[in-house]
Structure 1
C-alpha cells in the first residue's frame, strides 16, 4: 500500500548545503544557508572594491594634489589681479575727484568774481540811470542780495559723489564683486556741475548784455534829446556853444570785450548825460517858457493899431489877457536888472538871461522880486495889472536881444518843442 502524496504549494523545496569536516575521529558539519552565503559574498565584493579604490588613490594622489594646487594658484592669481584692478580704479576715482574738485573750485571762484563785478556795475550804473530817468529805479541787473554759498554746495556734492564711488570700490574689494560699475565710464557729478556752470555763465552773459544794451539805449536817447533841444533852439535863432553835443574824435574801430566794453559804454553814457545836462541848463536860461500858460494872446508882435491913439504903431511884444492878480512867471533863468515903475510900462520887471537876451514883464499890479535877485525859469515875478499905458488888465511881454525887441512867438514855439525834454 502506497502513502498518499502531498502536492507542493510553493514549489520544490531547496535543501540547505551541509559542509562536513572530518579530522581523525572528529567529524564536524556545518549547514550553510543561502542568505549567509550571499552576505559573505557581499562583504568580499565590498572589500575588493575598497581595495581597488585605495590602490587607485595612492597611485593618482600626486596628480590630484598637483591639479588642486594649480587650481588654487590660478584662483589666487585671479583674485590678486582683481584686487590690483580695483585698487587702481579707486586711485583713478580719487585722482579724478581731486581734479574735478579743483576745477569746480576754480569755476566757482570765477563765478563769484563775475557776480561781484556785476554788483559793482549795478552800483555804478544806478546814479547814471537816476540821472537819465530823474527818479529812483529798481536794480537794472537783478542780483541776489546774498551771494550763494557755491563752495559749500560744491563740497557737499563732490563729497557725496566721492563717498558713493569709494564705497562701491571698497565693497568690490571686500566681496570681489564681479560686476561693479565704473564711474569713469558712467559719468560723474563734475559733468552735471559743468552743465550748471554753463547755464550760470549764460545767465551772467545775458545780464551783462542787457546792461550794455540799456546803457547804449540811454546814451543814444540822451544824444537824440540833446539834438532835438538844440534844433528847437536854433529854429528860434538861439545858438548854443559849439561844443554842446559835438566832439572832435575819431580813429579805427577796434572791437573789445567786457569789462573794457562796459567801461567804455559807461564813459560814453556819462558824456552823453553831461552834454544833455549842459544843453538843458542852457535851454532853461533862454527865455523860451510861457509867462502865462493857458491865457489868450490879445495882441501879437509887430505893427498894430495903437489902442489909445488909434493909429498904426509898432508893438514890441505880446499881450496876454488875464484877470488882475493872476501870477506872472519868468520864462527863463537869469538875474533881475529892473524891478519897479518904468514909465509907460508901469510896474515892470526886466530879467537878464545872458548872451544879450533880456525879457520884460510890464503893466503888473504888483512886483514880487528885487533888483539883483537870481531867479529860475518859472519863478513868479509879479501879478497881472493895468499900470502904466494900458487900457485894461493884461501882461505885456517882451523879448530883447542886445537891446532890440524880437518876436517872442519864436521863443514860445521853441519852448513848446523842448518842454517835454526839460
Structure 2
C-alpha cells in the first residue's frame, strides 16, 4: 500500500477506504469516499435524533394535551363564573328598576290623587269665597299650584334608562315653580343617586301639598270666624239702635267634637261650618237691609230734628214726629230699608206721602214729595228711589219730612241713621 500523500496547503490528505467482499469465487470491492461516510453518519445521527424527539413528543404529548385541556377548563369556568356574576348583577339591576318604577308610579299616583283632591277642594272653595268676598279683611284665595300631570311621561321613564334622571328633571321642573321647593331641591341635588334625589323631592312635594291643605283649612277657619264676627257686629249695631234681628239670635248652643287639621274630616267639617256661618251672615244682612237704617237723602243737611220745636206756621211749641232734610225740589228720595209700600198718595198735611212697611212693626214715612215713583203693594229694596223732594201739604218750602214708626208710634230716626253709618262697611 502506498503512503498517503500530504498537501503543502491542507496538510495530510485522507485517502478513500476500499471495501472488499469475497463470496466464493466471486470477489467484489467498492470504494467509500470520506464525504460519503460523513453524509451517512449525519443521516444516521439525524434519524436517531428525530427518533428520540418523536419518542419524547409521544411521551410528553399526553401531558401537554392534559395541561392544555385543564387550562381551557379553568378559563371556561372563570368565564362562566363571570357571566353568572354579570347575569346576577343584571337581574338585581332589573329587579331594582322594576321596584323603583313601581315605587315611582305609586308615588306619582299618590301625588296626582292629592293634587286632584286639592283641585276639587278649590272648586268647592270658590263659591264660598265669592260669598265671603264682602267680608272685611277677607283671607286670600288659595294660591294656584302647577299641574304635575304634564310631567307624567318623564316620571314614568324612570325605569326606562335605569338612572331616574328623567324623573329628577320632571320633579325639578315642578319644584322650580315654588321658591322654597327650588332651594330645597338644589340643596340635595348635588349628592346621592337620581333615585334618592327623586325620593327626597317626593318628600318635599308631599310637605308642600300638606302645607297647602293646612293653609286651606286655616283660611276656612279664618273666614268662618270672620263671618261669625261680622254677623255679631251687625247684630250689636242694630241692638245699639234699639232694634233686634231675631229673638233667639246668638242664643243657640254651639259645640261638637274636636277635629284637628290632620283629620281627613277636617276640610269637610270646615266647609260645612263656613257654609253655616255665611248662611247666618246672609240672613243677618238680609234682616239688616230690611231695617230702616239708611239715609233717605244722603248728603243733605238736617233742618229740623225729632221732638219739641217751634211750629213754622203757628210759631208755637209743637211735637215734631220726624226729622226734616233740606234739599232742592226734585232731588231723589230713597227707601231707608227694604219692605212693602203700604201707602202711596196724598195724605193730608203730609202732602204726597209714601209709607213703607219693613216688618217687625217698623214703618217709615216720606212726606211733602213733589212726585211719587212707587205704588201700593210694591216690594222694594233698600235704596230704591221712591219719589222726589217737594213742598206739598203743610210745608213752608222744599224739604223731606222723614218718620220712623214702631207699632204706630213715632221714634227718633237719629239712632237708626247712626247705626246705618256703622253698618255701611258690613253691608
TM-score (norm 1): 0.78
Change (3 A) 1:45 1:299: farther
- Which residue number in structure 1 is paired with residue 105 of structure 2? 105
> What are the superposed Cα offsets for residues 292-341 of structure 1, whole Å, 9 maximum, x if unpaired?
10101111122222222223222221110001111111100111122222
Change (3 A) 1:66 1:230: same
Change (3 A) 1:145 1:86: closer
Alpha-carbon distance in 2 for matches of 1:29, 1:56:
34
Asked if structure 2 preserves the Cα contact closer than 8 Å seen for 1:245 and 1:275, the reply is no
| Secondary structure of the corresponding residue to residue 364 of structure 2 | strand
Tell me how far 1:142 sits from its aligned partner. 2.4
Alpha-carbon distance in 1 for matches of 2:292, 2:214:
42
> What are the superposed Cα offsets for residues 174-209 of structure 1, whole Å, 9 maximum, x if unpaired?
xxxxxxxxxxxx987644543443344334333323
Change (3 A) 1:313 1:47: farther
| Secondary structure of the corresponding residue to residue 253 of structure 2 | coil
| Secondary structure of the corresponding residue to residue 157 of structure 2 | helix
Asked if structure 2 preserves the Cα contact closer than 8 Å seen for 1:19 and 1:30, the reply is no
- Which residue number in structure 1 is paired with residue 150 of structure 2? 148
Alpha-carbon distance in 1 for matches of 2:15, 2:361:
175
- Which residue number in structure 2 is paired with residue 236 of structure 1? 241
Asked if structure 1 preserves the Cα contact closer than 8 Å seen for 2:364 and 2:405, the reply is yes
1:383-402 matched pairs, under 5 angstroms: 383-402=388-407
Asked if structure 1 preserves the Cα contact closer than 8 Å seen for 2:214 and 2:261, the reply is no
Change (3 A) 1:240 1:227: same
- Which residue number in structure 2 is paired with residue 76 of structure 1? 76
| Secondary structure of the corresponding residue to residue 269 of structure 1 | helix
Change (3 A) 1:357 1:294: same
Gaps spanning 5+ residues in structure 1: where? 1-12, 165-185
Change (3 A) 1:17 1:61: farther
Alpha-carbon distance in 1 for matches of 2:159, 2:134:
49
Alpha-carbon distance in 2 for matches of 1:214, 1:251:
20
Change (3 A) 1:188 1:237: same
Aligned length: 381
Residues 71-80 or 99-108, more deviating? 99-108
Change (3 A) 1:265 1:308: same
- Which residue number in structure 2 is paired with residue 121 of structure 1? 121
Asked if structure 1 preserves the Cα contact closer than 8 Å seen for 2:163 and 2:194, the reply is no
Tell me how far 1:241 sits from its aligned partner. 1.4
TM-score (norm 2): 0.77
- Which residue number in structure 2 is paired with residue 310 of structure 1? 315
Tell me how far 1:58 sits from its aligned partner. 5.1
Asked if structure 1 preserves the Cα contact closer than 8 Å seen for 2:129 and 2:141, the reply is no
Alpha-carbon distance in 2 for matches of 1:163, 1:286:
68
Change (3 A) 1:45 1:273: farther
Gaps spanning 5+ residues in structure 2: where? 1-7, 21-28, 166-190
Tell me how far 1:51 sits from its aligned partner. 7.6
Alpha-carbon distance in 1 for matches of 2:127, 2:164:
50
Asked if structure 1 preserves the Cα contact closer than 8 Å seen for 2:98 and 2:159, the reply is no
Tell me how far 1:355 sits from its aligned partner. 0.8
- Which residue number in structure 2 is paired with residue 321 of structure 1? 326
> What are the superposed Cα offsets for residues 33-63 of structure 1, whole Å, 9 maximum, x if unpaired?
xxxx9x9999999999878766665554444
| Secondary structure of the corresponding residue to residue 19 of structure 1 | coil
Asked if structure 2 preserves the Cα contact closer than 8 Å seen for 1:295 and 1:322, the reply is yes
Asked if structure 1 preserves the Cα contact closer than 8 Å seen for 2:366 and 2:403, the reply is yes
